């Protein structure tokens, strides 16, 4: 925990924050490596250097105090260190223990310390990843080290990966949770006649024109630059390379603010194979990223690459459909293809499907097949990201997409057995259904062979469902209009809260009623409102009465200290929080003096471990 670093905005593991130094540093940021070592006129961050020459702990502390006297309390001091490549095992570095045992607690002002895997971190305000630059191009080792180190340190402290940043990789490094980088590589590249861009690196000899129009590139040409002495060329390239680094980082910060960093790095990672590997391996580290990914976003999810199939929001949706969703007790399943317009039921094609079903619609359960989400039950078509994604429509499905969607369908059909499964699909959708049916040994009836909205296809859909519903062995289980509304809200509540949503729909709650017009449904018990469906992201906002019913489970619960909240709850006021809470989740807040409901700003574990920042934005408060 620190009093010098505060996170202001998050986009998964990426975050915008500030180091409260003199002057203040906004993160993610690029440090000047040359400036770090200037002890006579230090900037906001100063490196105390190596302790190879230090002979005692007392000498070490004296050295740091001298620097503090020169720099002032507003400067962050990186404590003396001796860096080794991460490949050297910890047991070979016994000499380090002598000096890392010298605590920084007696040193006034902000400090930073070197950190390696397996070490117990000192209480500092900045942690430096040891040997970060040596792990370039080793995606698996680099990612594993970042995750292990991030799990060792408090969430509200800054993380610095030195000797690594280039315009091409800045976005990926920030996406993985790195707050601070430096210009070491940019400076070295300049002295090697290497011209840096976000799209990759170029040797000066290979350039005919500069692809950049920064202040130095616009004033010269590659041919003119090649004629200059090496030191002057290096000075020119150094200015450009650092500008390119800062420009890319500015773009990354804007992507974080917009919540679209993931979409950006899916394209940017193509510059280097190891960056693509980092993205793919990062998705396999589900728990590290998932606890930081918000429950919903305000912006559209763009599924433009194959990596979209494994991104956290997609994997989470599929998992929750599998683990939390319970379909209505109906005997007929009808499978439909997705539509470009969201929610699906507002599209022209789905409107025609619904009209074709007519009076028999109350007997069937509808599920939509789609890439990248897999399957979307009709009740969840409003829920993020089902109503918030867009993807390139070419009519061609690659093998990964088919395998993913058919796997989701197969899992669903193995969990819930229907008397009849009808598929109003064609092309790749039909192939997906056939794969699932073949593996499970079930029969699926297909109602179209061409245009799904043709009169012939729609008539076939209606006649097929009608023949099933009028058969002698059909029990005619159905949902009336009121039951359908309750089932709609129940499915969303279970997706959002899991089994802990059950008290909202139990008989003990009283006689339930759903009021309002779709999609602005409200759940009532008598005259008491329990929850409201928020159409913008398809989840429920609880009332205080609804929160009371869910208190017993202690899920999505934040326990606070003895105070009455006003507006927002800061992390220091949180005593305990459900570790399952994710940013933007609807949460219940309970203290000795108040019961509240609101939206989580940070994850549950981060709330407890942080000493700064807003934990919950409170919407309703009741004094106890």
Check whether residue 59 and residue 95 sit in a common domain: yes
For the cut 50, the answer to whether the pLDDT of residue 512 exceeds it is yes
Answer yes or no: is 243 within a domain.
no
Whether 468 contacts 420, CB under 8 Å: yes
Q: Would you call 132 helix, strand, or coil by DSSP?
A: helix
Single out the residue of 120, 125, 145 nearest to residue 133, CA to CA: 145
Check whether residue 450 and residue 506 sit in a common domain: no
Mean per-residue pLDDT of the chain: 91
136, 167, 182 — which closes off a domain?
Answer: 182
161 is in which domain, residue-wise? 1-182
For the cut 90, the answer to whether the pLDDT of residue 59 exceeds it is no
182, 213, 237 — which closes off a domain?
Answer: 182
Which tokens sit at 563? 């105070």
Of 575 and 624, the structure prediction assigns the larger pLDDT to 575
Share of the chain above pLDDT 90, in %: 75
The 10s digit of each residue's pLDDT in 166-186 is 999 999 999 999 999 999 999
Of 74 and 508, the structure prediction assigns the larger pLDDT to 74
The 10s digit of each residue's pLDDT in 487-502 is 999 999 999 999 889 9
Residue identified by tokens 């090697």 is 192
Answer yes or no: is 394 within a domain.
yes
Check whether residue 310 and residue 404 sit in a common domain: yes
Residue 474: its pLDDT value, please? 84
Check whether residue 459 and residue 326 sit in a common domain: yes
Check whether residue 169 and residue 310 sit in a common domain: no
Answer yes or no: is 352 within a domain.
yes
Answer yes or no: is 529 within a domain.
yes
For the cut 60, the answer to whether the pLDDT of residue 103 exceeds it is no
Check whether residue 463 and residue 494 sit in a common domain: no
The CATH number given to whatever domain includes residue 154 is 3.20.20.105
Check whether residue 465 and residue 494 sit in a common domain: no
Secondary element (H or E) of residue 18: strand 14-19
Residue 70: its pLDDT value, please? 77
Local confidence band at 289 (pLDDT 50, 70, 90 cut-offs): very high
Number of domains observed in the structure of the chain: 3
Contacts of 539 (CB under 8 A, 6+ apart): 295, 296, 383, 384, 492, 496, 533, 586
The CATH number given to whatever domain includes residue 594 is 2.30.130.10
Q: Would you call 76 helix, strand, or coil by DSSP?
A: strand
Check whether residue 453 and residue 569 sit in a common domain: no
Local confidence band at 508 (pLDDT 50, 70, 90 cut-offs): low
Check whether residue 499 and residue 456 sit in a common domain: no
Check whether residue 67 and residue 129 sit in a common domain: yes
Local confidence band at 436 (pLDDT 50, 70, 90 cut-offs): very high
pTM for this one?
0.93
Residue 475: its pLDDT value, please? 83
Query: In Å, how far are 96, 103, 107, 578 from 123, measured between CA atoms?
Result: 17, 8, 11, 25
The CATH number given to whatever domain includes residue 365 is 3.40.50.10630
Check whether residue 417 and residue 542 sit in a common domain: no
Check whether residue 504 and residue 415 sit in a common domain: no
List the strands of the sheet with 45-47, edge to edge: 29-31, 180-182, 158-160, 126-129, 111-115, 76-78, 45-47
Single out the residue of 345, 270, 260, 344 nearest to residue 303, CA to CA: 260
Phi, psi of 421 (to 5 degrees): -120, 120
Residue 101: its pLDDT value, please? 39
For the cut 60, the answer to whether the pLDDT of residue 55 exceeds it is no
Answer yes or no: is 235 within a domain.
no
Answer yes or no: is 530 within a domain.
yes
Answer yes or no: is 167 within a domain.
yes
469, 502, 536 — which closes off a domain?
Answer: 469
Answer yes or no: is 401 within a domain.
yes
Whether 26 contacts 179, CB under 8 Å: no
Cα–Cα distance measured from residue 137 to residue 142, given in angstroms and rounded to the nearest whole number = 8
As a whole number, mean pLDDT of residues 16-31 equals 93
Q: Would you call 66 helix, strand, or coil by DSSP?
A: helix
Residue 98: its pLDDT value, please? 41
């Amino acid at each position: 925990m620190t009093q010098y670093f505060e996170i202001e905005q998050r986009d998964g593991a990426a975050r915008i924050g500030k180091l409260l130094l003199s002057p203040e540093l906004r993160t993610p940021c690029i440090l000047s490596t040359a400036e770090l070592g200037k002890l006579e006129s230090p900037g906001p961050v100063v490196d105390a250097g190596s302790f190879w020459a230090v002979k005692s702990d007392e000498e070490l502390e004296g050295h740091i105090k001298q620097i503090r006297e020169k720099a002032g309390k507003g400067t962050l001091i990186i404590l003396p260190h001796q860096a080794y490549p991460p490949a050297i095992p910890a047991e070979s570095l016994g000499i380090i223990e002598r000096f890392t045992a010298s605590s920084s607690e007696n040193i006034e002002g902000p400090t930073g310390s070197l950190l390696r895997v397996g070490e117990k971190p000192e209480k500092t305000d900045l942690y430096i990843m040891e040997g970060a630059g040596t792990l370039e191009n080793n995606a698996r080792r680099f990612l594993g080290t970042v995750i292990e180190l991030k799990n060792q340190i408090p969430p509200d402290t800054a993380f610095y990966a030195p000797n690594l940043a280039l315009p091409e990789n800045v976005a990926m490094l920030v996406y993985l949770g790195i707050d601070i980088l430096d210009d070491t590589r940019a400076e070295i590249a300049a002295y090697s006649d290497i011209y840096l861009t976000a799209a990759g690196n170029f040797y000066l000899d290979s350039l005919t024109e500069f692809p950049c129009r920064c202040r130095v590139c616009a004033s010269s040409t590659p041919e003119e630059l090649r004629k200059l002495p090496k030191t002057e060329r290096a000075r020119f390239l150094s200015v450009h390379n650092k500008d390119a680094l800062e420009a890319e980082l500015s773009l990354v910060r804007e992507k974080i603010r917009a919540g679209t960093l993931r979409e950006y790095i899916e394209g940017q990672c193509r510059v280097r194979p190891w960056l693509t590997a980092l993205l793919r391996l990062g998705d396999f580290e589900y728990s590290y990223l998932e606890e930081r990914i918000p429950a919903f976003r305000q912006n559209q999810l763009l599924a433009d690459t194959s990596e979209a199939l494994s991104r956290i929001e997609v994997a989470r949706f599929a998992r929750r459909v599998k683990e939390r969703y319970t379909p209505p007790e109906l005997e007929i399943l009808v499978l439909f293809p997705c539509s470009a317009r969201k929610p699906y039921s507002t599209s022209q094609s789905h409107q025609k499907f619904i009209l074709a079903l007519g009076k028999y619609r109350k007997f069937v359960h509808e599920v939509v097949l789609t890439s990248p989400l897999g399957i979307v039950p009709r009740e969840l078509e409003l829920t993020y990201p089902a109503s918030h994604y867009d993807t390139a429509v070419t009519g061609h499905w690659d093998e990964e997409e088919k395998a993913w969607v058919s796997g989701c369908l197969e899992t669903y059909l193995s969990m819930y057995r229907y008397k009849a499964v009808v598929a109003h699909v064609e092309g790749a959708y039909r192939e997906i259904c056939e794969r699932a049916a073949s593996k499970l040994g079930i029969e699926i009836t297909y109602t179209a062979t061409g245009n799904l909205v043709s009169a012939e296809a729609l008539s076939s859909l209606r006649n097929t469902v009608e023949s099933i519903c009028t058969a002698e062995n059909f029990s005619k289980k159905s949902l009336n209009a009121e039951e359908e509304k309750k089932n709609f809200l129940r499915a969303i509540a279970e997706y959002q809260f899991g089994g802990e949503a059950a008290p909202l729909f139990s008989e003990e709650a009283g006689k339930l009623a759903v009021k309002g017009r779709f999609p602005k449904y409200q759940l009532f018990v008598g005259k008491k409102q329990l929850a409201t469906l928020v159409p913008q992201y398809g989840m429920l906002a609880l009332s205080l009465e609804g929160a009371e019913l869910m208190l017993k489970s202690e899920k999505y619960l934040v326990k606070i200290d003895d105070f009455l909240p006003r507006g927002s709850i800061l992390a220091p006021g949180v005593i305990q929080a459900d570790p399952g809470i994710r940013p933007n989740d609807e949460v219940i807040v309970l203290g000795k003096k108040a019961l509240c409901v609101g939206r989580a700003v940070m994850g549950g574990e981060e709330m407890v471990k942080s000493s700064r920042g807003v934990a919950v934005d409170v919407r309703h408060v009741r004094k106890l």
